């Protein structure tokens, strides 16, 4: 394909290179869906206790239908003591009273389906809560008992077994082992927890664990869910013998933090070590694939696997395993055109190799919101939380880049994930009072990593109302920053150029031009003083251009402007001008 540049704007011919062909024939919904993450505690509160819940979700589904998403993914709402905001599940078959009841879940699901929105739920199989009946039974039972064999209990080392079985550390900081007191009162064995002490790891070599989770899958599939987001999908099987490892793992910083970049263009989205990405995990997903295939409606599994390079991640989405995997390499790439080109390219190539769709994601409940990350001195870097004493992001610049990044992302072929509130342009709460913090990473890191509370603040729905409309009582489980009233939905709905309306138009056009099942061909040679500051590609017949600045970019004529992340300056002819940190979608005519 060759773009014909306007003779007045460029001497060099524009060239294109096809990377990913369009998809034809029957296409499963998850190959191109826009999936919106609902973090139930912070979405909408139906009962006034200041914590969001399932009736709250149901009451706001109209908003999501109007926005134009295809599906929602709900973070955990199961019975849980909430030591890790519900990622510590005590009963996989029940709803925590904080969030409502099973009937509330059914009502939410029915309403979502009625609006044409599919529903994915979170499955947390790497660990249970310490309150789970299995773990309580394990504590009451003897070493080597079947009850203990569901978890990873080991004798300690050193005199009297007083040292942990190996040197592994928890993702949240501190040791990954905790010693138990045996029922007779003596100091006893140790159990493994890759996360908080309240999250003991299951032993996935035990067939009883496998059988139980297949039953849990069926429980929710029978209720009608459309799929599962699988938590810590790369961690469920540990290397034989649990060998020592001197590295550290962090879901947020990645094992390769820094801006040097890894081979896929990102700043490091992977965890190495004997607890991650072991071959044995793939058997589990093959078995689950078979379970889902028994059900109609293209039910899907999405892997939360912090694995790199992308060719390694692609192994989770081979034809008989999961359907999608989050693309954290994309999320962890800096705001630089060459790096983004590398990661987009590598993502498409790796997933095409196995016939899977690529996913794209910029924000979720574990990372600083992209509207703030992109306003940092190194735009796109990913601190583990931001506190009041830390360097503060440039809010306006961050939002401008976030909108450009989102339009770039939503024009890519594949499936895209949005995190609640990003459609409002919400920044991270970067000045949250440390006293309010609830993320276990804050205290487990010895109060050095502020953690993830800043991206989990309750949503602002209505600017003039107490709690900004999150809860009828005005209560919010984390306080909202003053700036949130400017971002409330009611200040943006119907307002041309608002972030919400930019997202909404993008989703409509993405659907209309079938970009999700489309193609990608890089465009080179657009007139620019610095080639490396432009990313341009064609998907079907839409040209997508992001200008990383600082110079104004003038696009060839004969384009029909479809969408832009910002108001564009007017040219004295009908050319399209793209300012810094802006993405434009234009139709090739």
Q: Looking at beta carbons only, is 299 or 452 nearer to ligand NOJ?
A: 452
Known active-site residue 264:
no
Residue labelled with tokens 């199989």: 125
Is there a contact between 324 and 250 (Cβ–Cβ < 8 Å)? no
Residue partners of 519: CB distance under 8 A and separation at least 6: 18, 20, 21, 22, 413, 538, 539, 540
CB of 546 closer than 8 Å to CB of 580: no
> Quick check: 53 binds ligand NOJ (CB under 6 A)?
no
231 is an active site residue: yes
Nearer Cβ to ligand NOJ, position 128 or 546?
A: 128
Q: What are the angstrom distances between the C-alpha of 157 and each of 88, 161, 163, 166, 280?
A: 28, 4, 5, 8, 27
CA of residue 359 relative to chain centroid, distance: 10
Locus of tokens 């970019």 = 553
Q: Which is nearer to ligand NOJ, 10 or 438 (CB)?
A: 438
Residue of minimal Cβ distance to ligand NOJ? 87
Residue 44 found at the interface with ligand NOJ (CB under 6 A): no
| 129-148 binders of ligand NOJ (CB under 6 A) | none
Shortest gap between Cβ of 195 and ligand NOJ (angstroms)? 5
Taking the least distance from each CB to ligand NOJ, the nearer of 124 and 555 is 124
422 closest CA partner among 475, 373, 465, 359 = 373
Alpha carbons 53 and 45: distance in angstroms, whole number: 5
Question: CB-wise, 170 or 519, nearer to ligand NOJ?
Answer: 170
C-beta separation of 411 from 539 below 8 A: yes
Shortest Cβ 85–ligand NOJ spacing (Å): 7
Nearer to ligand NOJ, 63 or 452 (CB): 452
Q: What residues between 295 and 324 interact with ligand NOJ by CB under 6 A?
A: 304
- Ranges within 229-288 binding ligand NOJ (CB under 6 A): 231-232, 251
Q: Is residue 87 involved in binding ligand NOJ (CB under 6 A)?
A: yes
Q: Which of 222, 294, 377, 572 is catalytic?
A: 294
Which of 112, 124, 344, 371 lies at the binding interface for ligand NOJ (CB under 6 A)? 124
Out of 84, 96, 321, 423, which residue is the one contacting ligand NOJ (CB under 6 A)?
84
Characterise 205 by phi-psi region: left (phi > 0), alpha (psi -120 to 50), beta (else): alpha
Do 15 and 2 touch, CB atoms closer than 8 A?
yes
| Alpha carbons 346 and 325: distance in angstroms, whole number | 14
Which of 84/339 has CB closer to ligand NOJ?
A: 84
Site track 357-376 with ligand NOJ (rule: CB under 6 A), x = hit: --------xx----------
Count of residues of this chain found to bind ligand NOJ when the rule CB under 6 A is applied: 10
- Residue 72, strand partner residues: 36, 119
Nearest-approach distance from CB 131 to ligand NOJ, in angstroms = 15
Taking the CB of residue 412, how many other CB atoms lie within 10 A of it? 25
Residue 7: which residues within 8 A CB-CB, separation 6 or more?
none
Report, in Å, the least distance between residue 440 CB and ligand NOJ.
Answer: 8
CB of 36 to ligand NOJ, least distance (A): 16
What minimum distance in Å lies between the beta carbon of 405 and ligand NOJ? 21
Min CB(441)–ligand NOJ separation in Å: 8
Pairing of strands 153-154, 71-74: unpaired
The span from the CA of 170 to the CA of 156, in Å, is 17
Mask of contacts with ligand NOJ, 549-578, x by CB under 6 A? ------------------------------
Question: Minimal distance in Å, beta carbon 114 to ligand NOJ?
Answer: 29
Question: Is the CB of 220 or the CB of 306 nearer to ligand NOJ?
Answer: 306
- Concatenate the DSSP letters of all residues of 248-289 into one string: ---TTT-TT-SSS--TTSSS-----STTSS-TTHHHHHHHHH
Residue from 195, 213, 330, 484 touching ligand NOJ (CB under 6 A): that is 195
Contact by Cβ (8 Å): 454, 368: yes
Candidates 554, 558, 546, 545; CA nearest to 588 is 558
Of 88, 231, 321, 449, which is the active-site residue?
Answer: 231
Where on the chain is the footprint of ligand NOJ (CB under 6 A)? 84, 87, 124, 195, 231-232, 251, 304, 365-366
Query: Which residues does the annotation mark as catalytic?
Result: 231, 294
């Amino acid at each position: 394909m060759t773009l014909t540049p306007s003779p007045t704007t460029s001497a060099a011919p524009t060239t294109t290179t096809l990377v990913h062909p369009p998809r034809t024939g029957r296409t499963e919904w998850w190959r191109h869906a826009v999936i919106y993450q609902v973090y139930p505690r912070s979405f909408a509160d139906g009962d006034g206790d200041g914590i969001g819940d399932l009736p709250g979700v149901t009451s706001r589904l109209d908003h999501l239908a109007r926005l134009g998403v295809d599906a929602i993914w709900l973070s955990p709402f199961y019975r849980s003591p909430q030591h890790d905001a519900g990622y510590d599940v005590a009963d996989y078959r029940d709803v925590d009273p904080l969030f409502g009841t099973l009937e509330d879940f059914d009502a939410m699901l029915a309403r979502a389906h009625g609006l044409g929105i599919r529903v994915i739920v979170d499955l947390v199989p790497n660990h249970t809560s310490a309150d789970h009946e299995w773990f309580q039974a394990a504590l009451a039972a003897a070493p080597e008992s079947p009850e203990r064999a569901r978890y990873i209990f080991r004798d300690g080392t050193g005199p009297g077994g007083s040292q942990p079985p190996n040197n592994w550390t928890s993702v949240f900081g501190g040791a990954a082992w905790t010693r138990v007191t045996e029922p007779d009162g003596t100091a006893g064995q140790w159990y493994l927890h890759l996360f908080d002490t309240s999250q003991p790891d299951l032993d996935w070599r035990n067939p009883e664990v496998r059988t139980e989770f297949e039953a849990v899958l069926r429980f929710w599939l029978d209720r009608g869910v459309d799929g599962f987001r699988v938590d810590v999908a790369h961690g469920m099987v540990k290397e034989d013998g649990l060998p020592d490892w001197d590295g550290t793992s962090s879901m947020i910083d990645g094992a390769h933090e820094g801006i040097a970049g890894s081979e896929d263009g990102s700043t490091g989205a992977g965890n190495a070590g004997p607890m991650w990405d072991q071959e044995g995990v793939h058997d589990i997903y093959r078995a689950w694939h078979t379970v889902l295939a028994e059900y109609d409606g293209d039910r899907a599994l999405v892997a939360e696997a912090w694995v790199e390079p992308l060719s390694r991640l692609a192994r989770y989405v081979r034809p008989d395993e999961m359907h999608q995997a989050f693309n954290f390499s994309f999320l962890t790439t800096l705001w630089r055109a060459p790096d983004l080109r590398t990661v987009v390219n590598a993502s498409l190539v790796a997933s095409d190799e196995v016939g899977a769709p690529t996913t794209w994601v910029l924000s979720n409940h574990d990372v600083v919101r992209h509207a703030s990350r992109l306003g940092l001195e190194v735009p796109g870097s990913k601190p583990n939380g931001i506190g009041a004493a830390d360097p503060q992001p440039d809010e306006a610049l961050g939002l401008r880049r976030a909108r450009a990044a989102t339009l770039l992302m939503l024009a890519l072929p594949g499936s895209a994930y949005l995190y609640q509130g990003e459609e409002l342009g919400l920044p991270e709460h970067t000045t949250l009072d440390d006293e309010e913090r609830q993320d276990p990473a804050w205290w487990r890191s010895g109060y050095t990593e502020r953690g993830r509370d800043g991206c989990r603040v309750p949503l602002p729905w209505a600017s003039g109302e107490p709690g900004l409309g999150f809860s009828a009582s005005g209560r919010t489980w984390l306080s909202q920053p003053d700036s949130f009233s400017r971002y409330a939905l009611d200040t943006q709905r119907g307002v041309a150029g608002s972030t919400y309306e930019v997202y909404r138009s993008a989703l409509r056009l993405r659907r209309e031009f079938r970009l999700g099942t489309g193609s990608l061909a890089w465009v080179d040679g657009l007139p620019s003083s610095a080639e490396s500051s432009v990313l341009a590609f064609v998907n079907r017949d839409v040209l997508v251009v992001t200008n990383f600045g600082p110079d104004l970019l003038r696009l060839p004529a004969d384009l029909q402007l479809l969408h832009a992340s910002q108001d564009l300056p007017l040219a004295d002819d009908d050319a399209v001008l793209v300012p810094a940190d802006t993405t434009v979608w234009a139709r090739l005519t």
